[in-house]
Amino acid sequence: MRKNHDKVSYLRPTPDVIPRAGHNISTGNISEGALKVLYRLKNAGYAGYLVGGGVRDLLLGREPKDFDVVTDATPEQIRELFRNSRLIGRRFRLAHVRFGAEIVEVSTFRAPHHDSGDAGHVVDGRIVRDNVYGSIDEDVWRRDFTVNALFYNIADESVVDYVQGMNDIKSGCIRLIGDPRRRFIEDPVRLLRAVRFATKLGFKISPETGSRIPELASTLGDIAPARLFEECLKMFFNGYALQTFEQLRRYDLFKELFPQTEEALTAQQGGFPYTFVANALRNTDDRLAQNKPVTPGFLIAALLWLPMEKLTREHIARGMNEMDAIMLAGDIVVSRQTRAIAVPRRFTSMARDIWQLQPRLTRRSNRRPHRLIENPRFRAGYDFLLLRAQSGESVNELAEWWTQFQQDQPETKSHTRNRHNRRWRRR
């Protein structure tokens, strides 16, 4: 207790406070929901700040994905203030306040974790589950990057900056707060977040932060595989998948996520493996830019296609028939992959379907094409064939044949076929 307070007072520097006239955030750019939350907190006598990606994106003149609010009100007090709210999270309780389709996340200031034993989750004599509530000048230190740690204060519309985050916004720099090595070890997901933000914002990773990434890349293995999958979705479905992939490779992170793919890329002779993966990711980016649906199942199929093919060929060389070889290779490749990232079964099973469709697409006699085109995965399998053709596999003629075949079918069918999952929007 005493110890914590000493630590806190030691950490308590004065922030830069940038008045309304000194920055470009106007209430007009803040969502209606977030504004309502901020004003209601203020009117009830609580502190209310926007924080995180919302502030960062507004300062950069970009449209925020969502808005996060922090306050000194406890979750129970937030709950009382907003009838349209729900408390979530076991370890860290926070409130989701809903306004129609918009959800504003409201959390209570928290102090960083202290290393002293677990019994010490005490603030002002209170033990609140695993929540250590704090004040704004404690909350700031548990955040990851300086550009994510700026607070917009609804009381006077100023921006509060404890970490020189404004400088990094201006110079385009992703920099961990505090000692980078310690902060990465504390939560290795930050390794991926560094790359994701740098790519999305077109920022550089500061040398001190960036130089730590390759040496700590293997700590990604300590992250729960399900959380890694979530993070992968954010990296590959944000419209910058190709660039993210290249940065992940540059920082030795990609091999931790897709070890078999990395192996194929490293072993490549001629450009095919790289071209194939790059085209798959570029495709994803293009589809998102055109507001077309994308699905993790398709991307998993593409990212694992190189190891898949290699293993399939090996099985065939040992005398197995093509379809058995594909099924067996699929089992092996998927099970190796899911040791790194917990890809949910519905997506790995879609990937397998897509792979198994590839040899079936070569069989064009009699009524077979008519039956195949009714397969719920046909469209994904055909898109995959196009990707292969586009990347230099010798399936051009086959791909064109299927394009023509579909055009020759009556209108009605071609619209009901596309069963891509629409949930995977830009993240």
User: Which residues of the shown chain bind ligand ATP in the complex (CB under 6 A)?
Assistant: 52-53, 65, 68, 143-144, 148-149, 187, 189-190
Find the Cα–Cα–Cα–Cα dihedral 270, 347, 200, 25, rounded to 10°: 170
The sign one gets for the Cα dihedral 342, 346, 350, 353 is: positive
Specify the residue, 16 or 66, whose C-beta has the smaller distance to ligand ATP: 66
Note whether 297 binds Mg ion by CB under 5 A: no
Specify the residue, 53 or 188, whose C-beta has the smaller distance to Mg ion: 53
Cα separation, 76 vs 54, in Å, equals: 24
Whose tokens are 């550089």? That residue is 204
Cα separation, 331 vs 360, in Å, equals: 19
Contact residue for Mg ion among 53, 165, 210, 307 (CB under 5 A)? 53
Q: Provide, rounded to whole angstroms, the least separation between the CB of residue 48 and ligand ATP.
A: 16
Q: Provide, rounded to whole angstroms, the least separation between the CB of residue 51 and Mg ion.
A: 9
Q: Choose, from 72, 144, 161, 383, the residue flagged as catalytic.
A: 144
Cα separation, 364 vs 368, in Å, equals: 6
DSSP secondary structure code for residue 26 in this structure: -
Specify the residue, 190 or 388, whose C-beta has the smaller distance to ligand ATP: 190
Note whether 369 binds Mg ion by CB under 5 A: no
Report which residue's Cβ sits closest to Mg ion: 53
> Catalytic annotation on 66?
yes
Q: Choose, from 16, 66, 130, 286, the residue flagged as catalytic.
A: 66
Report which residue's Cβ sits closest to ligand ATP: 53
Identify which of 206, 223, 219, 214 has the alpha carbon closest to the alpha carbon of residue 164: 206
Question: Which one of Mg ion, ligand ATP, none interacts with residue 175, CB within 5 to 8 A by kind?
Answer: none
Specify the residue, 231 or 353, whose C-beta has the smaller distance to ligand ATP: 231
Cα separation, 276 vs 386, in Å, equals: 11
Q: Provide, rounded to whole angstroms, the least separation between the CB of residue 421 and ligand ATP.
A: 21
Q: Which residues pair with 106 in a beta bridge?
A: 69, 95
Cα separation, 69 vs 151, in Å, equals: 9
Other Cβ atoms closer than 10 A to 173: 21
Specify the residue, 56 or 315, whose C-beta has the smaller distance to ligand ATP: 56
> Catalytic annotation on 68?
yes
Active site residues: 66, 68, 144
